[in-house]
Chain A
């Protein structure tokens, strides 16, 4: 059974710092992996989706990598801003069209 773990649970950084959020999964036979952002009391915003055949995806200041062999994904945020403060969730899908398996998230706080 797929399990997704995110470390650290919380992270505080000063504005402008580059940072890395970590996600690990137990079953390397994933179909794809997604990173989401969740603001307090709100729904999910999809940030990046990486197919199992891909190694990384980039969108603006965000870069997500995928290493299936080690069961890891990282989300790199460059030049962090206070507006980046949120909880970041990693989720894996084992098959096309199936539900996502989520980690507990990393709550990021960027201070100005």
Chain B
């Protein structure tokens, strides 16, 4: 149990386009989902926290108008990278947690490459 999926696993896009990444909790209701970003040889850095039905909370330095997060249901959160640029190329990983459970369940990640 407690499986989190991400789609797509890899995406290559041209500079200036927008890319949507989905994060789904397959067998549980995720009250909170987190979006992380990992650059090569670096640690995972939290981008934003999203709670179902409310606006996401962004970390300092993360542009909320560039990285749009929607958490419309208890099983789905989406991250849209708008007007992507090469410096946005990274590994994006989501995690989900459920009320009363300490463990966070991580998705397999999405590799974004912006040409």
Contacts and interface: CB of A to CB of B under 8 A. Distances in A.
Interface of A: 4, 31-32, 34, 36, 41-44, 46, 49, 51, 89, 91, 93, 96-105
Contacts of A43: 6, 93, 106-109
Nearest to B107: A43
Contacts of B49: 98-99
A34 B101 CA distance: 14
Contacts of B105: 46
Contacts of A4: 43
A36 B102 CA distance: 15
Given A34-B104, A89-B44, A97-B31, 13 more contacts: A32-B102, A42-B109, A43-B6, A43-B108, A43-B109, A46-B106, A49-B102, A51-B102, A91-B44, A99-B46, A102-B43, A104-B41, A104-B42
Interface in B94-115: 95, 97, 99, 102-109, 111
B46 A41 contact: no
A16 B97 CA distance: 36
Given A41-B111, A49-B102, A99-B49, A89 B43 contact: yes
A56 to B, nearest CB: 17
A103 B43 contact: yes
Contacts of B6: 43
Interface string B82-101: 00000000010101010100
A105 B91 CA distance: 15
A5 B32 CA distance: 26
Contacts of B97: 97
A99 B34 contact: yes
A104 B44 CA distance: 8
